Amino acid sequence: MNILVTGAAGYIGSVVCAKLVEAGHHVIGIDNLGSGLDPILPPEVDFRHGSIENIGKLISDKDNVDGVIHLAGLIQVGESMKQPEKYWQTNTSWHIGIADRNAKIGCHKIVFSSTAACYGTPERTPIEESDIPHPDSVYGWTKLAVDQMLASYADAYGWAALSLRYFNVAGAYGRYGERHQPETHIIPLALEAIAHHTAFTLFGNDYATPDGTNVRDYLHVADLADAHILALDHLKTGQHDIVNLSTGLGSSNYDIFKAIETVTGQKLDIDIQARRAGDPAILVASNAKAKQLLGWQPKYTLEDMVRDAWKFKA
């Protein structure tokens, strides 16, 4: 198929593109390179530099797009609370423009990068797709708005759409890995501390969890990419669905530190600070729906994620 990937040069986008190429698809990749980093993509990808705001100038009906994997968007929760207009414009208004463009080129199949942030602080664990969303951030609300937009397009115009709600993505796939500027994710930050022999700042060790630290559901980026490709084959006309992508397992911050020390053979220096506001103690999701609907099964362990991220860094 001819697959359009927005946000193609990002962390997840680059792995999705690589996996699509390996599966034999033709990939058109769009990215505005807002991170300031040069794109690292398979040479087979038809890369087009530009913003999704101007997608009409980047894609035409001659491209014969069969499906869209829409990953582009802003992802910083804290920033979304300080600059909400930036997030509403980029993550919502421009996404509506993409939907309109899809209609013009005759492509009504879309796999959307949604987020666990739609759920907010959960009322139960594990989180299921039927749980009522209560976003705690502007970022979460903007993603939820697009989920709802896609549902309305499916109902009114017969679109086929899937919103994939990611939990904590980690690891690397060969030469494709995390290069965020600034980096905010715990595994690359802790590996950075190991590499430079500096202390890692841990926010809170007094949560109501077995070891006192946050528990999160970590998923290997390669497993995540595989789910997107499977999702393309399970889009149904006139339907929109929401699917969690997770392992269904919880790993604490100390579990991560242990895996890092095992992989690197080095001791991590930890500087414990007070909790950050708004950090839930536990976020773990059910992946039963993804297994049933997509036939998807995560393959990688937490230690695999750390090992691949460490190799990428090296």
Active site residues: 139
Strand partners for 239: 160
As a whole number of angstroms, the distance between CA 165 and CA 174 comes to 24
Q: What is the DSSP string of 178-196?
A: ---SS---HHHHHHHHHHH
As a whole number of angstroms, the distance between CA 267 and CA 126 comes to 32
Buried b (16+ CB within 10 A) or exposed e, 33-46: eeeeeebebbeebe
- Asked if residue 126 has a cis previous peptide bond (ω within 30° of 0), the answer is yes
CA atoms within 13 A on the CB side of 174: 9
CA atoms within 13 A on the CB side of 56: 10
Q: Which candidate, 16, 148, 146, 169, places its Cα nearest to that of 89?
A: 146
Element (H, E) at 170: strand 168-170
Determine the distance from the C-alpha atom of residue 258 to the mean position of all C-alpha atoms in its chain, rounded to a whole number.
Answer: 24
The answer to whether residues 215 and 209 touch, using CB atoms and an 8 Å cutoff, is yes
